[in-house]
Amino acid sequence: VEVFEVHYDSLDGVRIAGWYCLPRHRTAPLPAVVFYPGYISEPTFPKSHAAKGYATFGAAPRGKLRSNSQVNPGYPGLLAHDIIDRNTYAYKGFYVDAWRVIDFLLEQPEIDNSRIGIRGSSQGGALTLLTAAMRPEVAVAAAGAPYLAGVMDAIALTNTYPYQEINDYLRQHPDSRDAIAATWSYYDCHNFVDRIRCPIIVNIGLQDNVCPPETGYEVFKRIGSTDKQLYPYDGHAHDAGSFHHEAVIDRFFAQHLQPQG
């Protein structure tokens, strides 16, 4: 496997980095899989999937990897950063960074542009849903324990972080609830996923106290694709059954992307 640190420009001139992995012995064109990161985690280093015949990209939106010298609201901090203004809210650039990965892949001569898959869990699950909604080039998607879905409900359903960042903000600024709700009407996954058309699978943990399963069920119901399947895992919390579900994702991507590993 060959590993490259790559860079691209995103919103407001922020320079974004990521890990790009390719099978060493390859015949182009290759299918590609993007891995979106969780809230506090750095980008994954997706070498093992490159060994299976995929070009893989470990995405690092602003505040992660090399860009944290340019944008760094902190963890905790990102969820509530500039939250009362939709035009400057921290997730505006974050979302664009995630979408711009697709542009990078489309420019690579070794990539089959008709075979691009995306995946992630928690915040990565949210970015997967959002990118599948906004980038029609995505051929297949797998979202786990989706975060940023039904946010104004989620802050009442759970008392854990990161959602508690919003409740912390509301305790300090009790008159800001309407402004926060207005901002989130532009960013909530619920208001994007009806645009998804590609095959997609979603897994949730029924005992998840970080991203409540109620919001997972609701966002799945709103997905516009007619080729969708939900995997609810009883007895699992925010891991959303990932130990068992990884094999499901592997089969799903192999079926749709057909790597030559």
Closest CA to 78 of 57, 66, 92, 65: 92
Signed CA dihedral, 43, 44, 50, 54: sign only: negative
Whether 175 is a known active-site residue: answer: no
Active site annotation includes 208: yes
Query: Which of the following is catalytic: 10, 67, 121, 122?
Result: 122
* DSSP conformation letters of the chain: -EEEEEEEE-GGG-EEEEEEEE-SS--S-EEEEEEE--SSPPPP--HHHHTTT-EEEEEE-TTSGGGGGT----TTTGGGTTTT-TTT-HHHHHHHHHHHHHHHHHT-TTEEEEEEEEEEETHHHHHHHHHHHH-TT--EEEEES--SSSHHHHHHH--STTTHHHHHHHHH-GGGHHHHHHHHTTT-GGGTGGG--S-EEEEEETT-SSS-HHHHHHHHHH---SSEEEEEETT--TTTTHHHHHHHHHHHHHHHH----
Residue 136 CB partners (closer than 8 Å, separation 6+): 197
Of 208, 238, 239, 245, the catalytic one is: 208
Backbone torsions φ then ψ of 157, nearest 5 degrees: -90, -20
Residue in 236, 238, 239, 245 annotated catalytic:
236
Q: Is 153 a catalytic residue?
A: no
- Please identify every residue annotated as catalytic: 122, 208, 236
